[in-house]
Amino acid sequence: MSDQSSFDIVSQIDLQEIDNAVNQALKELRTRFDFKGSKSSIEFLKTEKKIRLIGDDDLKLRNLQEMLKTRMASRKIPIKSLQFGEPEQAFEGTLRQEITLVQGIPQEKAKELVRLIKEAQFKVQAAIQGEQIRVSSKSKDALQEVIAYIRSLSFDIPLQFTNYR
Q: Which residues pair with 43 in a beta bridge?
A: 52
**Predicted local confidence at residue 2, as pLDDT:** 58
- Of the CA atoms within 13 Å of residue 115, those in its CB half-sphere come to 6
**Predicted local confidence at residue 90, as pLDDT:** 84
Pick from 130, 120, 126: nearest CA to 153: 120
Contact 8, 51 (CB under 8 A): no
**Predicted local confidence at residue 157, as pLDDT:** 85
**Predicted local confidence at residue 52, as pLDDT:** 95
- Domains recognised in the chain with CATH numbers: 5-12+104-162 (3.30.70.860), 15-101 (3.30.70.990)
Contact 45, 20 (CB under 8 A): no
CB atoms near residue 13 (< 10 Å) = 19
Residue 84 host element (H or E):
strand 82-84
Q: Which residues of the chain have pLDDT under 70?
A: 1-2
Q: State the pTM of this model.
A: 0.81
**Predicted local confidence at residue 100, as pLDDT:** 93
Distance in angstroms (rounded) separating the CA atoms of residues 2 and 165: 10
Q: Which residues pair with 42 in a beta bridge?
A: 53
Q: Is the dihedral of CA 112, 83, 75, 129 positive or negative?
A: negative
- Name the 3-class secondary structure at 38: coil
Pick from 161, 156, 9: nearest CA to 78: 156
Q: For residue 70, give every residue at least 6 positions away whose Cβ sits within 8 Å of its Cβ, in sequence order, or none.
A: 25
